[in-house]
Amino acid sequence: MKARAATPVGTATRGTTNPNRLRRMDRWIATTHGAELRRSDAPVAVDLGYGAAPWTAVELLHRLRAAAPRTRVVGVEIDPARVTAAKPYEREGLEFRHGGFEIPLPEPERPSLIRAANVLRQYEEAEVAEVWARLCARLAPAGAGSRGGLLVEGTCDEIGRRHVWVALGPEGPRTVTFATRLGSLDRPSDLAERLPKALIHRNVPGEPVHAFLRDFDRAWAAAAPYASYGARQRWIRAVRDLTADWPVTDGAARWRQGEVTVRWEALAPRAQACRAEGHERRT
Residue 135: CATH number of its domain = 3.40.50.150
Are 194 and 156 a contacting pair, CB within 8 Å?
yes
Residue 279: pLDDT above 60?
no
* pTM confidence score: 0.92
**Spatial distance between the Cα atoms of 145 and 128, rounded to a whole number of angstroms:** 29
Q: What pLDDT does residue 274 have?
A: 42
Residue 39: pLDDT above 50?
yes
* CA-closest candidate to residue 189, choices 156, 212, 170: 212
Instruction: Examine residue 240 and state whether it is found in any structural domain, yes or no.
Output: no
Instruction: Examine residue 60 and state whether it is found in any structural domain, yes or no.
Output: yes
**Spatial distance between the Cα atoms of 136 and 113, rounded to a whole number of angstroms:** 10
Instruction: Examine residue 276 and state whether it is found in any structural domain, yes or no.
Output: no
Instruction: Examine residue 86 and state whether it is found in any structural domain, yes or no.
Output: yes
Q: What pLDDT does residue 213 have?
A: 98
Contacts of 181 (CB under 8 A, 6+ apart): 161, 162, 258
- The domain of 71 spans 23-182+247-264
**Spatial distance between the Cα atoms of 201 and 20, rounded to a whole number of angstroms:** 27
Cis before residue 54, ω within 30 degrees of 0? no
**Spatial distance between the Cα atoms of 60 and 116, rounded to a whole number of angstroms:** 12
Instruction: Examine residue 87 and state whether it is found in any structural domain, yes or no.
Output: yes
> DSSP class of residue 143?
B
Instruction: Examine residue 226 and state whether it is found in any structural domain, yes or no.
Output: no
- Mean pLDDT within 162-179: 98
Q: What pLDDT does residue 272 have?
A: 60
Instruction: Examine residue 196 and state whether it is found in any structural domain, yes or no.
Output: no
- Mean pLDDT within 55-67: 97
* CA–CA–CA angle 94, 99, 102 (5° rounding): 110
Span 2-30, pLDDT tens digits: 444 468 999 888 878 889 999 999 999 99
C-alpha dist (Å) from residue 58 to 36, 48, 88, 160, 179: 21, 13, 12, 16, 22
DSSP string, 200-255: HTT-STTSHHHHHHHHHHHHHHHTGGGGGG-HHHHHHHHHHHHTTTS-B---HHHH
Instruction: Examine residue 8 and state whether it is found in any structural domain, yes or no.
Output: no
- 175 CB-side CA count, 13 A: 18
The total number of structural domains in the chain stands at 1
Span 215-273, pLDDT tens digits: 999 999 999 999 999 999 999 999 999 999 999 999 999 999 999 999 999 999 997 64
Q: What pLDDT does residue 218 have?
A: 98
Residue 277: pLDDT above 60?
no
Question: For the chain, what is the radius of gyration of the CA atoms?
Answer: 19
Strands (E), 35-125: 44-48, 72-77, 94-98, 113-117
Span 117-165, pLDDT tens digits: 999 999 999 999 999 999 999 999 998 788 999 999 999 999 999 999 9
Average pLDDT of the chain to the nearest whole number = 93
Are 132 and 170 a contacting pair, CB within 8 Å?
no
Contacts of 228 (CB under 8 A, 6+ apart): none
Span 110-122, pLDDT tens digits: 999 999 999 999 9
Span 180-223, pLDDT tens digits: 999 989 999 999 999 999 999 999 999 999 999 999 999 999 99
Residue 1: pLDDT above 50?
no
**Spatial distance between the Cα atoms of 31 and 179, rounded to a whole number of angstroms:** 14
